[in-house]
Amino acid sequence: MSFNINSYNTATKNLSLKEKLGQLFMPAAFINDSEEEIRELENLIAKQHVGGLCFFHSRASAATNFEGKKQIVYNEQSLSTLKTLIQRYQKAAKYPLLISIDAEWGLAMRIENTPQYPYALTLGAIQDNEDLIFQVGQQIARDCRQAGIHWNLAPVVDINNNPKNPVIGYRSFGDDKLNVTKKAIAFIKGTESEGILSCIKHFPGHGDTATDSHLGLPVIEKSKEVLMENELYTFREIIKQGVDSIMVGHLSIPALDNGEGVPATISKKIIKGLLRQELDFNGVVISDALNMHSVSKMFPTKGELEWRAFDAGNDILCFAEHTAEGIEAILSNADPLDIEERFKRIWKLKEQAFAYLSLPSTNHEKTSILNKHLAKESLTLFTGSRNIIKEFRQEGFTCISLGESPNINFMTAASKIANERTQNKDNVLIALYPPKVKPQNNFDLKIEELEQLEALLNTKKVILYVFGNPYVLNLINHKAAKAVVLGYQNFSEFQNIAFAHFMGKQKAKGCLAVSINLKKK
């Protein structure tokens, strides 16, 4: 679907002040909404003239619904539903909507049966090959365009220096500021090459916290000097290179706002002072989702949070739940010149987004080829050596799979080799498939599985291949293994490359991008 969008000079004359203010709002749209909910959003678009939508899978999948335990319903037709909804919502809009989504590792982050690429932490393991990261950003951008999406709210540039971080972790390129910056810039350039907007997040840095900002307000007690040297380094350097937008996180960092410690999303000192003046960022500032409990619970009066977020300096209010009340509150309090300044930035962003009209087709074979290259470059021999694995293989071995995965290519192929040879019960090849990528509840590994793994490490000669978040190694005495190999993803391409490595036919070129703690006995 293509649109003609007026130039800013024309738009500023044609839109009323209230319509211009509506352009600052980006409410959530859910792919699996009911017809009644869809019509409610169409009505909101038509009446309040919101500037864009941010798409999520379903209301049950929203992170703030963790405590509600709502069941996420699988929808095989999510992609076609998304495309249909975009058309409906665009039709309801007086002015073309800017469509955004979180596609950090591809549309699969939100939509079933769409291409998935490796998590940022996997890409962080790739050494001296930024062109591959560029290709990931490029391919995700093509998938977005094909779906009718203009803006990928990615990449994450937080430095994940806290292993207990419940919300960043695998979404970060690692704990080294130089590595994170290089990877992020390559991803952004790949995204821009296809005309898709990018967004770095979560300013001023969400890496060093053990609190999930969807549910509570993280407090980071570091000096400004330390933050400028590390957490803020990525943002500062990427701003110099150029980036479309920056998302501000719900983070309390007293050192950055003279000890006030209010969430960064509603802090003038952090947005207007640090980001705009000190770091000289002139692009669009978007808030993190305003429904997140770290801030939403602080403002029970409808519209007050929206006003505070605007007043602090956000151009776009993402996932605003009280659009009509927010517009009225801002109209009552804001300087019209300030509204005009924000509107200009947003409309210029729209002009940029709508300049690309052609829609590419999704090539699943190309996705698989790219993932195979990424698997080869990221595979990491964390402990042990090729000779240890070779001797292990020659001596004979048995196989055990722990955890869950949609496919177990590695274990299937390894078991076939084991059965063709004399089995050695003292040698155990373990494929570990953590069911979840997030660390909560031990990555959903069962207590019995962890106990079995620990027992095998202590009594057998173990070679361990991990197909999931490498932070899982913090749960076990991984030093007891003869070798640990990180495959990172459970995709078939990654498992096939890992098996080739086990057979001595593939080198491990990657290097783990974060630190792993040795489990205390």
Collapsed DSSP state (helix, strand, coil) of residue 257 = coil
CA 103 to chain centre: 7
Classified as helix, coil or strand, 430 is strand
Catalytic residue among 214, 293, 322, 478: 214
Q: Which of 288, 293, 315, 501 is catalytic?
A: 288
User: What are the structure tokens assigned to 78, written together?
Assistant: 């999510």
Task: Report which of 267, 262, 268, 327 is spatially closest to residue 294, judged by C-alpha positions.
Answer: 262
* 214 counts as catalytic: yes
**Cβ neighbours of residue 106 under 8 Å, at least 6 residues apart?**
114, 115, 116, 117, 139, 140, 143
CA-based nearest residue to 149, from 194, 94, 117: 194
Give me the helix-helix angle, 231-241 and 177-192, nearest 10°.
Answer: 30
| Per-residue H/E/C for 199-238 | EEEEECCCCCCCCCCCCCCCECCCCHHHHHHCHHHHHHHH
Helix (H) or strand (E) segment spanning residue 179: helix 177-192
Distance CA 411, CA 400 (A): 8
d(Cα 102, Cα 54) in Å, to the nearest integer?
A: 8
- E-only strand ranges, 61-123: 98-101
CB 401 within 8 A of CB 433: yes
Active site residue 444: no
Cis (ω within 30 of 0) for the bond into 204?
yes
Look at the alpha carbons of 496, 502, 506, 510 in this order and tell me if their dihedral is positive or negative.
positive
For the residues of 309-345, what is the DSSP string, one character each?
Answer: HHHHT-SBEET-S-HHHHHHHHHHHS-HHHHHHHHHH
CB 120 within 8 A of CB 166: no
**What positions carry a catalytic annotation?**
214, 288
